[in-house]
Amino acid sequence: MDTPFASGPAELFARIDDAAVANAAAALSEGVVLTTLDRAVNWARKNSIWPMSFGLACCAIEMMSMSASRFDIARFGAEVFRGSPRQSDLMIIAGRVSMKMAPVIRHLYQQMPEPKWVISMGACATSTGVFNNYALIPVNQVIPVDVFVPGCPPRPEQLIHALMMLQDKIQNEAGTIRQVLNLA
């Protein structure tokens, strides 16, 4: 039972195993990073998010202050607010969504290139907040939402935390390369 299933002496396999451990230790000491292509692409995606500025009410003031020097969203790679949906991959819905605005939001969401993500910011966007009437709807009834930010209005720190949660979600996505190559 001491003989391996493959042909060859047992000490040969021991040398191969020792070499694998030694090579991994050498690569670590040399500063070589070993990762998968999925993780590398997800790392690049999560650190280069371009949000679209889409403020509908008072939450938009907090969203704007998030990009100012006090909170500095540039640390997270999301400092470039885009005015066009074709140049952005994150839509932050900040404020009340009315029935008249819902088709506009859906149209802008459909114009965004893949992959695309959505953050619902504030109680009004999430559940119509204190303005619970016939004219307002939650944004998740119009487009799919990835992260919800509670509050009325939520602080910029909460939006930064939501961005960090979205980055974790992006980093842990599986099958990124299959999606990029249209094999999924």
Q: What is the pLDDT of residues 103-120, one digit of tens each?
A: 999 999 999 998 999 999
Helical residues (DSSP H) of the chain, grouped into ranges: 10-30, 37-46, 59-66, 102-111, 123-127, 156-171, 176-180
Q: What is the pLDDT of residues 139-181, one digit of tens each?
A: 999 999 999 999 888 898 999 999 999 999 999 988 888 888 8
| Pick from 126, 109, 104: nearest CA to 59 | 126
Output the six-digit token pair for 34.
Answer: 């070993």
pLDDT at 18: 63
| Pick from 85, 74, 150, 160: nearest CA to 117 | 85
**End-to-end CA distance of the chain, in Å?**
44
Q: What is the pLDDT of residues 119-145, one digit of tens each?
A: 999 998 888 888 878 899 999 999 999
Judge whether residue 89 has pLDDT over 60. Answer: yes
Share of the chain above pLDDT 90, in %: 34
Which of the residue ranges 13-27, 32-46, 136-150 has the most confident prediction, judged by mean pLDDT? 136-150
